[in-house]
Each structure stands twice: as C-alpha cells, then as structure tokens.
Amino acid sequence: MTVAKARPANRREQILREATIMFTAHGYDGMSIRGIAKCCGITESAIYRHFNNKEDLYESVIKRKAGQHDIKGTLAKNEGLDSIEDVLTFIAQDILDLASKNTQLMHLMFRSSFQSGPTALQLFMEIRLPYIEFLARELEFREKSGELQKVDPFTSSCCFVGMVMDCALNTGVWTTLTNQKFEAENVICNNVPIFVRGLMKSVVS
C-alpha cells in the first residue's frame, strides 16, 4: 500500500529551504530531520535520498545561502566612489538593505558562527569580510592621499562594519524593548556623518 507522492521539480531545493527556516529558528540541535520532512510533506527517509546525513544537510544549507549573495562582486562594481561619505553611506545602506530583505541571512550568519565545524565561519567570510576589506582599502587609499586623519584602516573598517551589522541584527530588539524608534535610516543619517567628521582632516561644521 505504499503510494509514492507527487514529486516536485526539485525536492532538494525544497528541503534546503525548510531546513534553512528550521535552522535559523531553532539552531542545529533544534532542527530535526523529522520536522523538516513533515514541512516538506515527505518522510524522513526521503531526505536521506538527497543528503548523506544531518551534518551534510546543514553544510549544504550554509553553502546555499553563501552562494545566494555575491557581496564581493557587487562591491567591486562600486569602487571609486567620490567622497568617504559616499563610501560609508553606500556600505551602511547596502548592509541594512540586505538585512531587511533577508533577515534569515543575518541570523544564519550569527547562528552558524556559534557552531563548530568547517562551515562555522563561511558566512562571515563571504558576507562580512568583503565589506571590511572593501572599506579598509578605501580608508587606506584616502589616508595616504591626505584626505583622512591617521587611522588604522583595518580596525576602523572592522568597527564600522561591526556597528552596522549589529544595528541590522538588533533593530527589532530595540524597538520592542524600548519605545524609542531605532530604524535603519536613522542610523545612516545620524552615524555616517559622525564617522565622516571623525575620519576627515578638515571639518566643515
């Protein structure tokens, strides 16, 4: 009496989608093969036709997400911006856009960084690192050209990107925790200028 169900075009993709949802919501130990199977409307065994084991499935989830965004590529297209203000605004805007359109990605990045294994830092490397390296290069160049104060490009870049990432991750928290409004645009309007004034040599207030 075993009746085969309808087979969607690519089951593998569906499983990965559901597993991603599960993992972002409950973490590795909280995502169960059973639960994912149920969400897909198939049995657990069917999942093992597509993935060797749970760890394999997990790694595939991370790799898939990493493959969905080519940060390095999009950044490369935006080299040569005029002022440092443009650069910082662009980066902040880009990260906050990415985060708001793709909440999953951010949570996945932080969750996976707590996980052990080979894919622990993959999302950090493919999402966060490109931003940092991009900004660090811009800072280094502009520092040498005399536009900026004497600062350590890498540290400054890490901090700026970290600040924006932190905002992106916690926008929801602050609005529920306090009654203050705390939105992406405010961060850009408010803090990019602070950084700009702090970085530039001559200041026009």
Partner DNA sequence: AATAGGAGTAAACGTTTATTGACTTGGGGA
Partner DNA sequence: TCCCCAAGTCAATAAACGTTTACTCCTATT
**In the complex, which residues of this chain contact DNA (CB under 7 A)?**
1-5, 7-8, 11, 31-35, 41-46, 48-50, 52-55
Q: Which two tokens stand for residue 24?
A: 């972002």
Q: State how far the Cα of 98 lies from the Cα of 120, in Å rounded to an integer.
A: 21
Q: Which two tokens stand for residue 41?
A: 């409307």
DSSP class of 21:
H
String of contacts with a second copy for each residue 19-48, x by CB under 8 A: -------xxxxx------------------
> Closest separation between CB of residue 166 and DNA, Å?
31
DSSP class of 100:
H
Q: How many CB atoms lie within 10 A of CB 197?
A: 12
Non-local (6+) Cβ contacts of 159 within 8 A are: none
Asked if 203 is part of the footprint of a second copy (rule: CB under 8 A), the reply reads yes
Contact positions with a second copy (CB under 8 A) in 93-152: 107, 110-111, 113-114, 121, 124-125, 129, 149, 151-152
Contact 131, 75 (CB under 8 A): yes
> Closest separation between CB of residue 76 and a second copy, Å?
19
> Closest separation between CB of residue 35 and DNA, Å?
6
Binding-site partner at residue 45 among a second copy, DNA, none, CB < 5 to 8 Å by type: DNA
Q: Which of 185, 168, 167 is nearest to 98 (CA)?
A: 168
Strand, coil or helix: 104:
helix
Beta strands in the chain (DSSP E): none
In terms of CB distance, is 7 or 77 closer to DNA? 7
Contact residues toward a second copy (CB under 8 A) are 26-30, 107, 110-111, 113-114, 121, 124-125, 129, 149, 151-152, 154-156, 158-160, 162-163, 165-167, 170, 173-174, 177-178, 180, 182, 186-187, 190-191, 193-199, 201-203, 205
